[in-house]
Amino acid sequence: MTQAQTSPAAAGTASAQVINLADASTDPLLQLVLQQLDDDQAQEVVTIDLEGKSSIADHMVIASGRSTRQVAAMAQKLAEKIKQAGFGPVKLEGLPTADWVLLDAGDVVVHLFRPEVRSFYNLERMWAFGDAPPVAGRA
């Protein structure tokens, strides 16, 4: 697979979008994150460009795993890959329960969710300031 996955509802918005792995090559950290999530079979991967909009990061990546076990495994593996690639240590939050794990890698912030938790918090819509539709197939 050569492209991050997202739901059709989120793909059409200006703030929440699919970024092709080839297009992410300008930011090596973002490219590493998207490639690793693709390798780990993350679902509904959405990248939100925060550059110039927020000082917390340049990109926010939101993805789902099928279970708490998959979310925890993806988070741990991604943190290790980022560290091995020389981007420094990653701050992890939420790993014990793995319903929602936050990885802060500096310029890229990654949110990994179980699907039910993701639809409840609906970060895509929050960061699109209410313009983005909810995640497809969820209330």
E strand spans, 29-127: 43-49, 59-64, 91-93, 100-104, 108-113
**Alpha-carbon span 119 to 122, nearest angstrom:** 5
- The residue among 48, 44, 47, 34 whose CA lies nearest residue 81 is 34
Residue 136: per-residue pLDDT: 53
Which residues of the chain are under the pLDDT cut of 70? 1-25, 128-139
Q: Angle CA(53)–CA(59)–CA(65) in degrees, nearest 5? A: 135
Residue 95: per-residue pLDDT: 93
> How would DSSP label each residue in 34-62?
HHHHHHTT-EEEEEEE-TTT-SS-SEEEE
Residue 36: per-residue pLDDT: 97
Residue 105: per-residue pLDDT: 94
**Alpha-carbon span 31 to 122, nearest angstrom:** 24
Instruction: Provide the token pair at 98.
Output: 């793995």
Residue 139: per-residue pLDDT: 47
